[in-house]
Every structure is written in C-alpha cells, then in structure tokens.
Amino acid sequence: MFHQQRHRFSQPPSLRHGQVRRLQPHHSRFGTLWRPLAQPPETIHHRDLLVDSSEHVSKHSKRRNQPFIAPTVPGSADGFAKVELKLMFSELTFNIITRMMAVSSYPGDFLPFLQWVDYNGYIRRIKDLGKKTDELMQEMIDEHRRNKGDLSIENTMITHLLSLQESQPQYYTDVIIKGLVQVILNAGTDTTSLTLEWAMANLLNNPQVLAKVRAELDKHIGQEKLVEEADVAKLPYLQCIISETLRLYPAAPLLVPHSAFEICRIGGYEIPKDSVLMVNAWAIQRDPMLWDDPTSFKPERFEQGKETSDLIYKLMPFGLGRRACPGMVLAQHVLGSTLGALIQCFEWERVSDKAIDMTEGQGLTMPKVEPLEAMCKASQLGKKLLA
C-alpha cells in the first residue's frame, strides 16, 4: 500500500566555502541553532540533525523556535511511501542558505516570493512581494543589530557585513547588504535544489547507476553511520553522478550574461567592445564533437583517467574565470552529502513503470517540467534514524 504524503526535510548550513566543521545543537532564544563544536573532527554530522519535523508551523515567531527539519518520511519505515522531491529540495537548499546568512530559517516567508508567477495582477504582485521581501530582510538586519555580540550569530553573513558597515558605512549601507543577501538567495537556492532533482530523476531512470552508487556507499560508509560531508571525497562514483548531472542538466544553461570590456577574439570570432556575450553551456556540454554518446547519462565517463583532457573547457556548469560561481564548493558539498544520505537511508523507485519525463522547462534556471515524485522505503539505517 503506497502512502501518498508530502514530506520535507532540511539540513544545517554548510559553512563558508571549503570549510567543513562539526556542528552541535545550541538552544537559544533564536530556537535550536547549530554551532561548530569546539574541537573538530572537521565534519558536519547528519545524525545530529534528525529531529522532529512535525511542528512545521507557518507563524514566523513560532518557526524560530523550531529545530532543523530532517529527512523524515512517514510511512517509509513500513514500506514504500510516495514523496514529492521538488518541494523537499527547495526547502532544504533555502534553509541552508538562510541559515548561512542569518541562522534563522524563513522558507514560509519567502516561498510565496518563489511562486509568484501568475497571469493577473503581475506588476502589483511583484511590487507587493518586493516590499515584503525588503521588510523581511530589513528585519533580519535589525535583529542582528539588536543582538550584536550574541555568540549564536557571530559567524553569519549578515554579522560580517554589519561589521564592514562599521568601518565603511558609505559603501555597506543596509540597501547594499539587502542586495547581497538577495543575490546569494537567488543564486544559491534554486540552482542547488534543481540539480538535486535532476540527479534523483536520473538515478530513478538508471537503476543500474543507483545500484552501483549504493554499493559504493555500502562499501565505504556502511549502514552504521550516516554519510558526512567529509566522506564525499571517498565516493568517486557519487561525484561522477554529480558531474554527469551537471553536464546534462546545468542549472544555469546559459551561465549569466557577460560584457566585453575590450575587443576580443573567441573561437575565431571578433567580439566588439561592450557586446553582451551569452555562453551556451548546455549546448557545449552536449556537443557530439566533444562528448561520446552525449545525450546518455553515463557517470562512468568521468571515472579516473577518462575525460581529463580539456575537461575544464567543455564542462562549465559553474562558469569559468574570475566571475565563476563562488558557491561551487558549497554546492558540491550539499549535493554530495544530500544525495549520499538519501541513497543510504532509503530505497528508491519510480512511482510507475514509465520512465521519468526529463523535459526541461524555461526560466533563468532550468527546471524539470514535471516536479519529481518518487517512492521510497527506509533502509536499515533510515529506520534507525527515523525511530
């Protein structure tokens, strides 16, 4: 019997790029926060995150007292349960980014903003939402100001920006800080959650790949402990799956527009000064001149020793050069540990025998037209953690 419920989960913030530290819960007036352990082993411990998610409430004040939500999928301990992954991944990445910026989690306040597409009253709605978003971000800043010196917020992005405001008040105004917060939110959430969705869709359509990565996880991590961020380095096939997903489904298929400061030559073409240049990474990453069997999902192509020459010029999901994505390392940590944990904790199947529809939708980022749903059943470790 399938359980048709929707579930959500989230994780703690990854820390600054490349920095991986173990977190411990700290109960403060902001709710349950996660702070680095005084003594590393330098890793985030997912087991610490498994806390009750049943109290997901919409009131802003109440949500603040809520701990992190973990991958709890009711029904999955007894058999296969249906789960909508798109929503889960959106909340997960949104929580990670907001916690990195401000510790608290604000998905309910922002989700309407992410879902504003509507035919009627478009401009008015955008203005209203812009105002609400601005108020919410101003509140994040004011709250940090009121609680200056509080250890629980000492390492958030907003705290660092406010300290820059003290030394350079003309530049780091509240408006600039809100702009930076907004940029990170926009750039970091959708991209990561869409990539997770594409990766899971590919795994569900390629059960042999899923079986192979499960074997890798069993061999290197086992069912006694949950995969941690630091373990991802020991899981080359999982990393190949992430590369292959980003090759076929780059979240920003045209990267972002670049402008030429000077005349330059690219691929034999002269690019006039001030031209706006769009790079079609999607096409380059599927170019039959560059890749064997380019449209097939084959993580093996990235296995050691293969595809090393010129890889940097033909695989560019994070862009290249000095304006390349600054969130790349963070994204890779989140993608690796989230996919690893999902594969370790659950068996996965499609909702029907039909292959998952991989049609790409439109947008600044590249969504999957059909939001991904799947059936999952808790593994031995999953059951233990959910118990």
Positions touching ligand HEM (CB under 6 A) are 97, 183-184, 187-188, 191-192, 195, 251-252, 255-256, 317-319, 323-327, 330-331
Pairing of strands 81-84, 3-4: parallel
Minimum CB distance to ligand HEM, residue 368 (Å): 14
Tell whether residue 325 is among the known ligand binding residues. yes
- The nearer residue to ligand HEM, 324 or 369, going by C-beta atoms, is 324
Minimum CB distance to ligand HEM, residue 157 (Å): 9
Supply 372's token pair: 């991904």
- Number of CB atoms found within 10 A of residue 308's CB: 9
- The nearer residue to ligand HEM, 339 or 385, going by C-beta atoms, is 339
- The nearer residue to ligand HEM, 14 or 206, going by C-beta atoms, is 14
Minimum CB distance to ligand HEM, residue 283 (Å): 14
- The nearer residue to ligand HEM, 13 or 382, going by C-beta atoms, is 13
Give the closest residue to 335 by CA, choosing from 190, 192, 185: 192
Minimum CB distance to ligand HEM, residue 322 (Å): 8
- The nearer residue to ligand HEM, 126 or 320, going by C-beta atoms, is 320
Residues in contact with 116: Cβ distance below 8 Å, sequence separation at least 6, in sequence order: 125, 126, 129
Give the closest residue to 131 by CA, choosing from 116, 150, 146: 116
The torsion region of residue 268 among left (phi > 0), alpha (psi -120 to 50) and beta comes to left
Minimum CB distance to ligand HEM, residue 108 (Å): 20
Minimum CB distance to ligand HEM, residue 326 (Å): 5
> CA 42, 161, 179, 99 torsion: positive or negative?
positive
Helix (H) or strand (E) holding 269, with range, is strand 269-271
Residues in contact with 355: Cβ distance below 8 Å, sequence separation at least 6, in sequence order: 205
Residues facing residue 34 across a β-bridge:
25
Helix (H, G, I), strand (E, B) or coil at 368: strand
Tell me which residue has tokens 């790079």: 279
- The nearer residue to ligand HEM, 191 or 239, going by C-beta atoms, is 191
**Binding site feature residues:** 325
Binding-site residues for heme, in ranges, read 325
